[in-house]
Amino acid sequence: MDNPDTRFDQMLSRLRLRGFRLTPQRIAVLRILSASEGHPGAEDIYTQVKNEFPTTSLATVYKTITLLKELNEVLELGFSEGGNRYDGKNPFPHPHLICVKCKKVIDADLESLGDLTEELTQDTGFEILSHRLDFFGICPDCKGEGK
C-alpha cells in the first residue's frame, strides 16, 4: 500500500556492505524481522522461513539472529521463560507492553526515559549504556474475551 520496505533494504545493504553473504535463508530471516509487528521468537521465525525454504534449520535462524545482534540490527528481548523475542523494526531499546495472557508484545514509546537516565547517571555514578523497560499486563483483546 505504501512505500517499499525501507527497513528491509537497509538491513540488506548493511550486510552486503560488510561483506556478509546474502543467502536465501538469511534474506528470509531479514524480511521477517524487518516486517513483523509481533516481536516473533526464534521458533516463529523458523516456522515462517520454512514455508519458503523447507530445508532451513533452526540453527541457521539462530546464527542469523546472532549476526544481526552483533551488527545492532535487531533488538533481543530476553526472557527466562518461553524463549526470547526479537524486534528488527526498531533495534534500539524502547519500552514494551507485554500481555501475560496472549504473550503479545507491543511497542510503547515514552520520551521521559531520557530524563530518568540522566538523573540516575548523576545520582549513582553509573555510566548507563542501555536499558530495558517492560510493562506486564492484560491487553484490551484479552480483557474482552473470557473472564
Contact residues for DNA, defined by CB under 7 A: 16, 20-26, 41-43, 53, 55-60, 62-66, 78, 80, 82-84
Alpha carbons 61 and 58: distance in angstroms, whole number: 5
And the C-alpha cell for 33? 524481522
Q: Site residues for a copy of itself, window 77-96 (CB under 8 A)?
A: 78-81, 84
128 makes contact with a copy of itself (CB under 8 A): yes
- Region of 60 (left: φ > 0; alpha: ψ -120 to 50; beta: rest) is alpha
Residue 33, class by beta-carbon neighbours within 10 Å (0-12 exposed, 13-18 middle, 19+ buried)?
Answer: buried
User: What letter does residue 41 receive in the DSSP assignment?
Assistant: B
Minimal distance in Å, beta carbon 14 to a copy of itself? 24
122 makes contact with a copy of itself (CB under 8 A): no
Binding site for a copy of itself (CB under 8 A): 76, 78-81, 84, 97, 99-100, 106, 108, 110, 112, 116-117, 119-120, 123-140, 143
